[in-house]
Structure 1
Amino acid sequence: MCNETFSCPFPDKYEAFLFPTIYGIVLIVGLLGNLMAVGVIFRLIRKRNILGIYLANLCASDLMYICTLPVWIAYTAKEDWLFGTLTCKIVGFFFNANLYTTISFLSCIATDRFVAMVFPLHARIIRSMKGALIICVIVWLIILGSHSYFLSRDDLFTSSQDVELCYEKYPLEKWMAHLNYFRIFVVFLIPLILLVFSYCSIIRVIHLTPGLVKEQKRRITGLLLSMTAIFVLCYLPYHVVLFIRSYVSDMDYCNCDIEKRVRPAYRITFALTSISSALDPFINIFVSDGVKKDLLVELKSLWLCVRFHRRSKKGKLDGVNVVCDVAAQRNNGFLCTHQTKVQTRF
């Protein structure tokens, strides 16, 4: 008899190597990239750069997601949950919720750039630090609130292979299928439409701007297309497969044949969504020429500090602070938010 304790078998063996490898690479690259981005974002906010608010929340979302990866690496390597029910609830909650906060903040960044670029005269009225903060709070409340149901459930299952699964019951339960509809059509599809529309509109305006040389137009267009392509490739395949799984489970809960066929695509596309968290700092923050120069200054300053500290016989840091202050004075600023400097904003 088919009921909520029913579980489909999953014979795939390649997963124990593939998924820990993907998550391991994302963990290393994403952690280093997002930690480096913290200093850049702090200076952006200190200069009252509105975009810095969205970048700060994107970085926070990515770091929260990345912090769950060590547990997920161990889980996918063993294909067996070894950390207990409470850890399953907490890790499953943040792992799933922060996927959608990242998507939402990427859309906010695209929309903010669209307003600043396409409506430069109205942007000073529409865009504000307070408005950006309110939008970010609303995003967190919607995503975390909609995923809070994870914390109220005991979703640690024992599969037909006698291993424990954390939020990965095959087939999907009804409540998860219904939550997935909200994820797909609200917190993914709407941000996708906003992001694609915003960047396409910006590209159109850039090509109509006489003040930019051909090389600048080509560089900015390539960057915006890369941002759009990475977003689509990381998230769209997963949500297409997620919709198929949810629809099948909702209509025919006991259909293991379709579940077996869809599961490999689901697991692979789900793992690939994590790549965005590793790439976000490089495609949204480190692309500006001003940011690159500032990063070099910061790294050089850090290197001078380390060298001075090693050479200091007493280990006092007074001289180190002097070296760091001198290096910091060479800082020329980060992302340009002035409407006339389009070529450096991206």
Structure 2
Amino acid sequence: MKTNCSFTEVDRLMKSLELAIYVPIFVCGLVLNILALVVFCFLLRKWTESTIYMTNLALLDLLLLLLLPFKMHATIHHWEAQHRFLCSFLESLYFVGMYGSIYTIACIAMDRWVAICHPFRAKQLRSRRAALGTCILVWVVVLGGTSPIYSFRTAGNGSFHCFHGFSEKGWRPDVISCLLGFGFVGPALVLVVCSAQSIRTLGQSGKESHKNRACVRIIYSSLCAFLVPFTPSHLGILLQFLVRQDVIQDCMAKTNISLFLQVAMSLANITCCLDALCYYFITREVRTSKQTFTFRRSRSISQRRATTSTSEL
């Protein structure tokens, strides 16, 4: 039996709460991701598999961030009926940024796993071309996967709330199963399993080198950037799906779930700031390897010169 619940108080609270969440994330995330692109593209001048994945992640984060002003506007204002297609387009791009970030973080974990746990096969499996191809594939997959969003809004002449209130099509069991399975659970399992095996392999190596510590930091920062923002939001989606299926019927529970889902989805955007941890450790790793290469090269040249001078004597 369905009960009529009022979500007026939740909507009123979220109008101020979303703005308080979005504004700091937008400012902080924009600065950090632009700086990351500048560093990767202009300062490091060394394209590795890691920097290619991180550049792709920064681009996806920027896409997500640039849509936050539209979300902030939609939080306060209703949109006219003629803007439904524009709304669906923006919603689609928003989820491209979100799930593109999820898949890219999972790809980074797999790349690290191959490099650490299978160092001999890594020479065949890892390359800059493979990393670039993987990033392109991520874009193709998420663009195709978010295309059904255009059918989630019902036609009508009245105003509507963009980024909110999908029709029943968006809450069908097959849609939510694909979203949770392929959009979160699958990538999360890949991330956790690859990360755990990589950390165990580094621990069993018995070497407490700077490079090993840097790898562990990158792995933990990837776990943080994935699990902290995306676990609560997808738990909220699952709970809201149970509400839509009338599995949860208590009015107070419905209200709390609605509030939890909206707060969790708002906080999920913090991934744009948490990814900066990955950027920082990757940058340190690339710079360290570059300095090590330069040192070894200069030492080799010095030794050759010394050998040449000795032979001349």
TM-score calculated relative to the size of structure 2: 0.79
Question: 96-105 or 173-182: which moved more?
Answer: 173-182
> Over the residues paired in the alignment, what is the CA RMSD in angstroms?
3.4
Label 1:152 to 1:248 Cα distance change in 2 as closer, same or farther (>3 A): closer
1:208 aligns with 2:204: yes
Partner of 1:240: 235
Partner of 2:279: 285
1:1-346 correspondence to structure 2 within 5 Å: 9-12=7-10, 13-42=12-41, 47-76=46-75, 78=76, 80-81=78-79, 84-152=83-151, 154-155=153-154, 164-169=160-165, 173-177=168-172, 178-213=174-209, 221=216, 224-251=219-246, 258-280=253-275, 282-288=276-282, 290=284, 334=287, 336=289
Label 1:276 to 1:173 Cα distance change in 2 as closer, same or farther (>3 A): same
Label 1:196 to 1:243 Cα distance change in 2 as closer, same or farther (>3 A): same
Q: Whole-Å Cα distance in 2 between the matches of residues 53 and 227 of structure 1?
A: 15
Partner of 1:305: none
Tell me how far 1:44 sits from its aligned partner.
8.7
TM-score calculated relative to the size of structure 1: 0.72
Q: Whole-Å Cα distance in 2 between the matches of residues 244 and 87 of structure 1?
A: 28
Contact 1:156 1:167 (C-alpha < 8 Å) held by counterparts:
no
Question: 44-53 or 242-251: which moved more?
Answer: 44-53
Tell me how far 1:49 sits from its aligned partner.
0.6
Partner of 1:324: none
Structure 1, gaps ≥5 residues long: 292-332, 341-346
Q: Whole-Å Cα distance in 2 between the matches of residues 262 and 73 of structure 1?
A: 21
Aligned letter for 1:17?
S
Label 1:94 to 1:157 Cα distance change in 2 as closer, same or farther (>3 A): farther
Deviations 1:212-265 (A, max 9, x none): 25x876675455334323421211111112012123314569986653231000
Please state which structure has a larger fraction of its residues in helix.
Answer: 2
Deviations 1:14-47 (A, max 9, x none): 2122111211111111111111111232259953
Partner of 1:311: none
Label 1:67 to 1:223 Cα distance change in 2 as closer, same or farther (>3 A): same
Deviations 1:143-167 (A, max 9, x none): 1112112235545889xxx973124
Tell me how far 1:67 sits from its aligned partner.
0.6
Tell me how far 1:334 sits from its aligned partner.
3.1
Contact 1:79 1:163 (C-alpha < 8 Å) held by counterparts:
no
Tell me how far 1:192 sits from its aligned partner.
0.6
Contact 2:152 2:170 (C-alpha < 8 Å) held by counterparts:
no
Deviations 1:124-178 (A, max 9, x none): 10112222222222222221112112235545889xxx973124227x5133344
Tell me how far 1:199 sits from its aligned partner.
1.6
The secondary structure found in structure 2 opposite 1:57 is: helix
Higher relative contact order (CA 8 A, sep 6+): 2
Label 1:184 to 1:153 Cα distance change in 2 as closer, same or farther (>3 A): closer
Label 1:337 to 1:224 Cα distance change in 2 as closer, same or farther (>3 A): farther
| Identity within the alignment, % | 22
Contact 1:157 1:169 (C-alpha < 8 Å) held by counterparts:
no
Q: Whole-Å Cα distance in 2 between the matches of residues 153 and 239 of structure 1?
A: 18
